[in-house]
Structure 1
Amino acid sequence: MNRPVHLLPAVVFASAGGALAHLAGLPLAWLVGAALASAIYTMTVAPINVPQRAYRMAQLVVGTSVGLTVSADVVSRIGWHALVIPLGAAFSLGIGLLLAAPMTRLAKLDRSTAHFAMIPAGISEMADLAGRHGADVGAVATFHAMRVMLVVFVLPPLIFSVNEAAALSVSRDPGAWTAPLALALLSAAFAGWGGSRLGLPSAWFLGPMAVVALLSGGGLVAASEPRELIAVAQIGLGLSLGARLKRETVRRLPRALGAGAIMMLVHAVVMAGVALGLAILLREDAATMILSLATGGSAEMVLTARAVGADAAMVAAYQLTRGLAGNALAERLHRRSWEGSSKEGTRRDDDD
């Protein structure tokens, strides 16, 4: 049973986890530490419900932060990425679709649950779609939370370990509370609200990022968010991410979660290989390409890009395209692949 009384100690526990990770010098410390601490709390003490408004505000801060980094030359930097971005999204969805079949056998899951668990898209959106098709909603949400956490925990330290220059390239700007920042945050709030009213996926991240990017790229706003604000946003995202790992689901489906972790790591390795190939072939920054094609969440991967000095705006373009494509196509792919194969199998049985 979820009890509001557990939220405050969970927030304190998550904040402490983020602080310890920060003191240890880990990349993306506040998010990683908070997510791990939140997962430990919800698995060992009690499940928690993070208010949706808090999660939205964390997304808004991250979206604003990315938007403020966009300069007027962002369009000219797109170049060949305009072709690769949709192809990368299609390839990632295709790999997820292919892995859903072995997932049903290894994890002993029904087809619908395996399908919506393996399509790399929004956690809430995939859980909602899973519910419409009679799948295990709790399992799908847990699988996607695990997917994002695996990528967030593995990629930043891996990038730093193979590229020591990444740590030196990270911006040391402490940021400041200024009038332009207040204007950016206010514009972001209106954009998030408007995007949510229109039913835009990841509205409180995508809307603020797009509007603030227009203001920043047009030279209308020049600001930098204080580190403290970004740290609080990371704690909010980490708290929400860890809270999605449900104790009852882990106890009920230990084999499925183990198989899911293997499938998701396979997916991540395949995408990382493709990203490295593109980086070498097109002489692009390897960290940027790896994070662009990674199977983590949009906000989390953009934060990771900032943490390792990669091109956050480019990573956002890739991640948002994949997320939007997954949200839009997951149900259609389900009908064509799983429901279609079931009908075909029924016809064959009738013929026999």
Structure 2
Amino acid sequence: MIRKFVFPHKKIIIVLSLAIVGSFLGVYFQLPLGALIGSFILIAIAQIAGLGAKPLKKRTRQVVQMVIGGTVGMNMSHELLDEVVYLIFPGILLAILHIMTGLFLAMIISKFFKVDIITALCGTMPAGLSEVAVIAKEHDADIEYVVLMHLFRVTAVVILIPILVHFL
């Protein structure tokens, strides 16, 4: 009886351990977004090698979203609110342009690379990797494709922006 109770949680412990080790390795080797990319790479390698961990259930994904929302909310302050008021119109303009660019790129990717439009939209929309993965899962997009598109995009930005800033 005890063995049956412990066994289903074994993979969860393995995944969490791999995520922690991957995170530390990503930070140690100073990868762009090291904690995120390091854990992603190590868990992806383990899954490809046959770990067989199942995707998170909807309720667990909602808990993850709650934690992410709480983390963002904890960074709010009066000073930040003053900045938000000052930057509201440029922020809205930037968001609209970013979404329009994402829509345009999603149409191109869908047409020329034969990717379904939902997957292309999830892969090109502005958001964090964890949010994109949750949205893709909820809309039955190809999560692996979405995560790889987002990972390449974010990695390119993290690598190229410092270079551009240096030369400009």
TM-score range, shorter chain: 0.7 to 0.9
Query: Are 1:272 and 2:87 matched, yes or no?
Result: no
5 Å matches for 1:335-350? Answer: 335-337=166-168
CA contact (8 A) 1:181 1:223 kept: no
Query: Are 1:307 and 2:119 matched, yes or no?
Result: no
The 1:258/1:291 distance shift into structure 2, 3 A limit, reads same
CA contact (8 A) 2:18 2:43 kept: yes
Equivalent residue, structure 1, for 2:22: 191
Instruction: Give the gaps of 5 or more residues in structure 2.
Output: 1-6
Query: Are 1:240 and 2:63 matched, yes or no?
Result: no
> SS where residue 64 of structure 2 aligns?
helix
Query: Are 1:321 and 2:155 matched, yes or no?
Result: no
The alpha-carbon deviation at position 250 of structure 1 amounts to: 3.0
Distance in 1 (CA, whole Å) between partners of 2:81 and 2:103 is 28
CA contact (8 A) 1:184 1:212 kept: yes
> SS where residue 141 of structure 2 aligns?
coil
Letter of the 1:194 partner, please give it: L
CA contact (8 A) 1:178 1:223 kept: no
Query: Are 1:210 and 2:41 matched, yes or no?
Result: yes
CA contact (8 A) 2:32 2:159 kept: no
5 Å matches for 1:118-267? Answer: 177-252=8-83, 254-267=85-98
Q: Bigger radius of gyration, 1 or 2?
A: 1
The 1:213/1:253 distance shift into structure 2, 3 A limit, reads closer
> SS where residue 295 of structure 1 aligns?
coil
The alpha-carbon deviation at position 265 of structure 1 amounts to: 1.4
CA contact (8 A) 1:181 1:224 kept: no
Distance in 1 (CA, whole Å) between partners of 2:108 and 2:37 is 28
Equivalent residue, structure 1, for 2:3: none
CA contact (8 A) 2:136 2:146 kept: yes
The 1:252/1:179 distance shift into structure 2, 3 A limit, reads closer
The RMSD of aligned alpha carbons is 2.3
CA contact (8 A) 2:26 2:36 kept: no
2:122 aligned to which of 291, 305, 311: 291
Distance in 2 (CA, whole Å) between partners of 1:269 and 1:245 is 28
CA contact (8 A) 1:293 1:318 kept: yes
The alpha-carbon deviation at position 255 of structure 1 amounts to: 3.9
Identity among equivalent pairs (%): 19
The 1:213/1:331 distance shift into structure 2, 3 A limit, reads closer
The alignment covers a number of residue pairs equal to 162
Equivalent residue, structure 1, for 2:4: none
5 Å matches for 1:112-123? Answer: none
CA contact (8 A) 1:187 1:211 kept: yes
Which digits, 9 at most, give the CA deviation of each residue in 1:246-300, with x for residues without a partner?
Answer: 4323324524222122122112212211212321333311111111112211222
Instruction: Give the gaps of 5 or more residues in structure 1.
Output: 1-175, 338-352
Q: Which has the higher contact order (CA 8 A, sep 6+)?
A: 1
The alpha-carbon deviation at position 223 of structure 1 amounts to: 3.2
Given the two structures, how large is their TM-score scaled by the length of structure 2?
A: 0.81
The 1:253/1:186 distance shift into structure 2, 3 A limit, reads closer
Given the two structures, how large is their TM-score scaled by the length of structure 1?
A: 0.42
Which digits, 9 at most, give the CA deviation of each residue in 1:61-90, with x for residues without a partner?
Answer: xxxxxxxxxxxxxxxxxxxxxxxxxxxxxx
> SS where residue 87 of structure 2 aligns?
helix
The alpha-carbon deviation at position 226 of structure 1 amounts to: 4.6
